[in-house]
Chains A and B, each alone.
Chain A
Amino acid sequence: MISPETLVFGVLAALGLISMVATFMAVMERDLLKAVLFSAVQSTAYAFMFYILMAPDILLVYVPVAVGLYPAVILFLIKKTERFEGGEEE
């Protein structure tokens, strides 16, 4: 039988893994638009983690900044520069 505590920590671990994979994809992605989306996935996982860790104050500032304002700034910058990251190979 799984105790509630184990369940909560299991959900936390799963969210942490999701955020880590999303961060990795965001770093490796050449298409910066997709990288922003991966970054937003990471932010969403973090938002749930803040909620589970009982930090609603951080959550309330994290949701608008990390899911709304920060991707918007990056998207504006991508629009002003280039969508694809230049590389020496391929």
Chain B
Amino acid sequence: MRRAYKYAVLAAMIVSTLALALAVSAGGLGYALPFPAVRNLAYWYLKTTYNPFMPKFTVSAPEAVTAIVWDYRGLDTLFETSVFFLAIIASMALMRGIDIRVPESMNLSKYGMSAIVKTVTKITVAIILAASASIALHGQLTPGGGFQGGATAAVAPLVIIVIFSLYFAVGSGIRKKSMLTLRTLGLLGIGVTSFAVIVAGLILGKAAYVFQNQPKEAAPIGLPSHILGVPMGGTLLLFNIFEFLAVAAGFTIVFLLLSVPEESVRKVLEGGEEHD
């Protein structure tokens, strides 16, 4: 009875989805394009993202999405990054007092999966890190960017923890403190980059904005748009690198804390605040 009910619900969902898809593709919502105002905005982004003939308006990065994320609406992304940072800080505060330490007498090679899996993982981790670096560093040229690259890179420590054991990861330098240092460095870098142009403007005696990238009409100063003839998008490259560090390290901290064996830290997790 229960099983029949389940399949009836599933069949009804499939039929209604198909009916909805048919209605939409038959023009149920109309074939009209979006509102002209929205289209003008998209037109403006596409026209100015990489346009050497409009030097006062261009971001000089061929990748429109990264340009929008870190230049046109860069402040939004700055606050998104701060929210993510606060979430990591909150999870660390929840699990405060946990010290992941490798026992002295532990033979690390006995832990984890078999030698075949470990060998394959060594190769895979190298590939994951190379791919993530390429995603992050080419963020201003091709699809991708700091967050995408950082999320990809965070898979590498996760795989190491699962295949080689947590203690191997901690022993080989993936520690909570070092990851937090990397993460703070990334956020600091983002902050420094957003003030870089205005500080340069103060030194050179020219007007500049916070979060400025390329020279603008009233602020004729900006970061280099091309390095060795390759479009670098000024601040976009720096933002991508620092965001890559921050995201990868942040996810790694969470996985380190989640993978601690619960028996060893139960006292820390259960115990409340100490009272005198």
How big is the A interface, by class? 20 to 34
Interface 9-residue window, one of B9-17, B93-101, B109-117, B227-235: B9-17
Pair B143/A69 contact, Cβ less than 8 Å = no
CA–CA, A20 and B14, complex, Å: 8
Give the contacting residue for B13; candidates A24, A56, A59, A63; CB below 8 A: A24
Contact present for A57 and B144 (CB under 8 Å): yes
Contact B17 A16 (CB under 8 A): yes
Complex partner residue of B25 from A9, A64, A72, CB under 8 angstroms? A9
Indicate if A7 sits at the interface (CB-CB under 8 A).
no
**Footprint of B on A, CB under 8 Å?**
9, 13, 16-17, 20-21, 24, 28, 56-57, 59-61, 63-65, 68-69, 72-73, 76-77, 80
CB of B238 within 8 A of chain A? no
Which chain B residue shows the least CB distance to A73? B258
CB distance from B166 to the nearest CB of A (A): 11
- For A28, the chain B residues whose CB sits under 8 A away are 6
What's the nearest-Cβ distance from chain B to residue A44, in Å? Answer: 15
In contact, A56 and B143 (Cβ under 8 angstroms): yes
A90 to chain B, nearest CB (A): 8
Contact B255 A72 (CB under 8 A): yes
Which single member of B6, B9, B17, B143 contacts A17 (CB below 8 Å)? B17
